[in-house]
Amino acid sequence: MVKLATQLVQGTNGTDDQNTGAVVPPLYLSTAFRHPGLGQSTGYDYSRLTTPTRALLEKQLATIEHGTHAFAVSSGMAAIDLVFSAFTKTGDHFIASDDLYGGSFRYFDERAERYQIPYDTWDGVDVDALLLAIQPNTRLIWLETPSNPTMKVIDIEAVSSAVHAVRPDILIAVDNTFLTPVYQQPLTLGADVVVHSATKYLGGHNDILAGAVIVADDDLGESLSQQLTTTGQNLDPFDAWLLIRSLKTLNIRMHAHTANARIVAKHLEALPGVDRVLYAGVGGMISFYLNDAYSVDQFLQNLKVGSFAESLGSVETLITIPAIQTHHDMPQAQREALGIFDNLIRVSVGLEDAQDITDDFDQAIAGAKKE
């Protein structure tokens, strides 16, 4: 394989088989495909099964995550649902790292209640404790790193090797939304399944809702493929085409997000209104605690460059309050045990000029001081 930056830019090009010389791949919107004859297929039959545009995106997703099978679906939640529907059944048990996307917890709780697939949480640090939490019916371990929103880092390789040494049948699934394959390729670290909310960095422009599941095993790929054909939460061709386009700039965007986030994190650390900054050192996601002498609401209202909005991973700087947005459904005690207090502010550092972002924080925080 060529290097990642080249693969991202060039990997989906030159695929127009009409000899037009089109550099960029064509977009096929057809849902139906003519059969050459009885029992024959061009490889495409009906778009719930596969379409040329989605297949091209999936090939690219598999390549950049070092997998062999990828599935592009209608949202990150659809990706999570595809994994659980394909790989778990009533009576199974799973373990999830304790600090992750609030919507994932909502989904896990629903699985536990409605389908009797209970789960335990794990702190993401103590691998021996994780091994002790494994039960005979444990089927899957779900990890998100760096964690959301407190930016704890999990050693995927240590977890995968420790778990697989005792239980090769347990699937290690990693939500790789925050770092993307530019910074982390879980399948090369021993994980079995990678999941993305492609709405975030993979899409990168706040205009595509999408998800992805990637594996490097034929049997796992077959299970996912059958499940997806059955339930049909596929990504539509136009969004698949837009995502192909977005991936071309993923490498350069991720490095630019990191460069800006490092500047913003360092700047925030020195501000009197900021108690503590949480940053994994790479990627564009930062969280910080606003000092009690400042109003979170006023800070949000003062922002001019950043926007108070749900979501992350886009070129625009977005600011989220996890306690009232992404993690609102989590019981308060559980939230606070994880450090998710009402003054915790999550920043998805965008690609505006870093100075404009830090100036914006300066004025928004200074103007939020309580009387």
- Position 251 contacts ligand PLP (CB under 6 A): no
C-alpha–C-alpha distance, residues 301 and 50, integer Å? 45
- Position 75 contacts ligand PLP (CB under 6 A): yes
Residue 34 is among the residues annotated as catalytic for this protein: no
Element (H, E) at 94: strand 93-97
Residue 101 is among the residues annotated as catalytic for this protein: yes
Q: Measured at the alpha carbon of residue 227, what is the angle toward residues 109 and 79, in degrees to the nearest 5?
A: 50
Q: In the sheet where 307-308 sits, what is the strand order?
A: 274-279, 285-290, 344-348, 318-320, 307-308
Single out the segment in contact with ligand PLP by CB under 6 A; choices: 10-18, 96-104, 240-248, 251-259: 96-104
- Position 246 contacts ligand PLP (CB under 6 A): no
Q: Which is nearer to ligand PLP, 279 or 294 (CB)?
A: 279
- Position 209 contacts ligand PLP (CB under 6 A): yes
C-alpha–C-alpha distance, residues 22 and 369, integer Å? 56
> Least Å distance between CB 7 and ligand PLP?
23
- Position 184 contacts ligand PLP (CB under 6 A): no
Buried b / exposed e across 319-341, counting CB within 10 Å, b at 16+?
A: bbbbbeebbeebeeeebeebbbe
Residue 200 is among the residues annotated as catalytic for this protein: yes
Q: Which is nearer to ligand PLP, 209 or 256 (CB)?
A: 209
Residue 175 is among the residues annotated as catalytic for this protein: yes
Single out the segment in contact with ligand PLP by CB under 6 A; choices: 44-52, 100-108, 256-264, 281-289: 100-108
> Least Å distance between CB 14 and ligand PLP?
30
Chosen residue from 103, 118, 190, 339 binding ligand PLP by CB under 6 A: 103
Q: What DSSP line would sit under 252-304, residue for residue? A: HHHHHHHHHHHHHHHHHHT-TTEEEEEE-SSSSEEEEEEPTTB-HHHHHHH-S
Single out the segment in contact with ligand PLP by CB under 6 A; choices: 82-90, 192-200, 273-281, 349-357: 192-200
CA dist 270 → 168, 292, 326, 367 (Å): 47, 16, 27, 17
User: Residues binding ligand PLP: what is the number (CB under 6 A)?
Assistant: 16
Chosen residue from 58, 99, 175, 239 binding ligand PLP by CB under 6 A: 175
Active site residues: 48, 101, 175, 200
The residues binding ligand PLP (CB under 6 A) are: 75-77, 101, 103-104, 144, 148, 175, 177, 197, 199-200, 209, 211, 312
